[in-house]
Structure 1
Amino acid sequence: MALGASHRLQDGIEAVETMTRFALAVLALASGVYTYLGVRSILDGSATAVFFAALIYSSAVSVAIYAFWSYMARFYPHVTGTAGRGAMIGVMALGCAMIIAMSSWLNAAALAGSAALEQHLAETLEDYTADLDKAHQNALAAQSLLPDIQRTQERFQRLADQERETGALTGTTGAGSVVQLLSQMAAQLTELENGITASRERVTTLFDDGRKRLETMRTLVSAPGAIDPRADQFSAEVVALSGVITSLQQTSIAPSVKRAAEDLSLGFIAPIADGDAPDLANRQDRVMETIRSSVAAQSKVLSTAADEILAREPVADRRFVPLSSAEAVLRYASDFIPSWAGAISIDLLPAVLVFMLSIVHAALRRQEETLPFAQRITAAELLDAMAVQQALARSGVDIEAIVRAEVLADRSGDAVDLNEAGATEPTNITSLDIASKGPPRAPRAGTPA
């Protein structure tokens, strides 16, 4: 049973030798092809120079992979010692790391380079979308002050009209100093309102332009066709969009609102009471003082609101960095694990064949060790043993007498003298074990893959 199994294992090793070499060659060639595609994506220069450089590099990779795994398949299964096997595993680990460094990441770039670049463009699009929205919100923040400014302006204008028509504040009708002051404050607030309204129109125009840029970028990300021309056009759109975002930040009316709010109080110029009667002039002075207090309070409210708007975090400067397909695959490796697994498997699959051969050779050695010597001896070893027997016979050594003497010696514990056992000529051979143990057997050379 053991002899038949041993022969079947040996026959199997010999049968798969050609297939193993063919498999190594195909895997090395496939790795070289994808390495060539990956190298072309990262090289710059003329088309001829890039072609030959990529071809030479991929050819070197294919030869290196085939040679490395051929050596491992030939030697690793026959190294049986613990130290030797550990050293071979260390060499295999080092070789696998070098193969991944020089080939696998380029294979991944060839397999998923376009998808990785699209991923890069998509994430960049999301970032710039967020930047445009933030810049738009910051630019429109001052618009929230517009209702308060309008109410204050309307109040001052209404009081001026009432004072002119009914004398609601001083008790005397006419366009005096109080009406003049109220009209002055209403005019300043109207000017500020007009500035905010004009700013809103400018912000709306810029935001619409930015949305059109984003729509074009979104189309480029999802459009079919080669990725490189789309990436170039995407870069041009990014530059234009960055200009729109910068303009939005500079269009904010908040600094102007703050300056106008301070001018309401600091630039307050009260006219001299122009009443003919002392009592009327006194009433006008008291009303103008009340207006001053109201203007100061309104100025403080607007200034505080403007400070809150100015305290908002501005949009950070963002620079779009174009990537090659290989760089994109490395940056977004976690998103393309299947592609990485396939690229690495092409290069490291021969390790499975090496370990499989090692297991078969180990099983073959174990089965041969359990066989009797007569079944383990090879034809060459048998011929060597017969030559030794003939040489001893010519020397007058009686092999049968030696065997009988050795058996008796084993029982008694005495040494065997070959000359006394039947040798007609002196010999320095003290003992033989041909019949029972056989001559030392040379290691059987396994068939390498």
Structure 2
Amino acid sequence: MIIKEIGRGVHGKVKLAEDLDTGELVAIKIVDKQSRRRQLGYSILRAKNYHRQQYHEALDEYNESEQKIRREIAILKKCIHPHVVRLREVIDDPASRKIYLALEYMEGGEILWRDEQNHRPVLSMDQARSIFRDVVSGLDYLHYQGIIHRDIKPANLLLTHDHIVKISDFGVSYFNQHLAGIHSQYDDEIDRELAETAGTPAFFAPELCSSVENYTTQDNRHITKAIDVWALGVTLYCLVYGRCPFTAATEFELFDIIPTAPLVFPTPEEIGFQTPETLKDLFERLLAKQPENRITLEQIKHHPWVVEDLQDPTVWWKEADPTLYKAVEVTDEEVSQAVTIMDRLRKSIRRISSSLVSLTHHFSRHHSKPVVSVSTSLHPLDEEQEKPTWPFQMDRNDSSTSSLSGLVVNFSRSSNNK
């Protein structure tokens, strides 16, 4: 049941809802479907008009892409970690061209990391360090599961009621088979998606600041999980200094600056404190221009600045060890059911309502007053009827937009989660 709207932006609306089965609060992110899969659909139609073989090749590409996306969603739904927002369900409503993501509700909201009036930092050094450790732990787990997030930034770090930080928004994330140690039918394909500039430009790694056409097959292998480490460095810079390390008036200029401009630290006069040498060292290693020179997450965990305020770092190292968690595996059935199609909900509701109607008629023949009252709202998804709370009350007229490009796009078939 939808309770209220709790957020709105270029990526869509977020509404607070209650799971009627458990009473648990969840966040429902409502987004439009992206064009990536739609373009595949257009290629199928074009091929059909010209050549039968081209048509079948395009159709095979479409089906393989859908299967790959479903697998990624199925894996994300099984990722459970103290510093990763849980994806509960993905619901596709073909009638409204919307995707509904049922997410773990984060009561604390986004991290407040700068004063919007003067753009000065508002976090203490210890607060920034604590947040950073939580993100490192969550990101290391995602990489262990084969997931490259691709959009690490302060806006995607959310707080629980007791100030635990969790990574959110997997709309442009990428599942890397080799990173997870998995071999599949997709191993031999040239997947250009990872080289595409998905995410937020100010957080792009230098290796992403070229058009995808400039990446050869040989170059493409260098677009790795190191892009998340770069974004992690930019995020830490924001938390500490209240600004991004590289800025420009336009994205075009920014793409020139990021790969070439030297890293500069604010002066004490600007921010009110002196940057420790250990922190400078960490920034220089996080923001190394060449990905092969960039610090790894394992090295980050042992960096002096990161563990400076811990009495016994070994305790945190053990807690942040991703191998404590089972590597996520998904069955063919879980992949096929990764996305709930709204039509299936309609059919389930109608089956239940039909059973209740039959039960009502049965009792009506034996009692002067019906024992069970059946409302016409049991057919809630018909446009002229009242909408129910099953399991979430969907806003069919939502007009929000989204940057989702990889995971939950264009499941527009009528049959078979910000």
TM category, shorter: under 0.3
Structure number with higher helix proportion: 1
TM-score (norm 2): 0.20
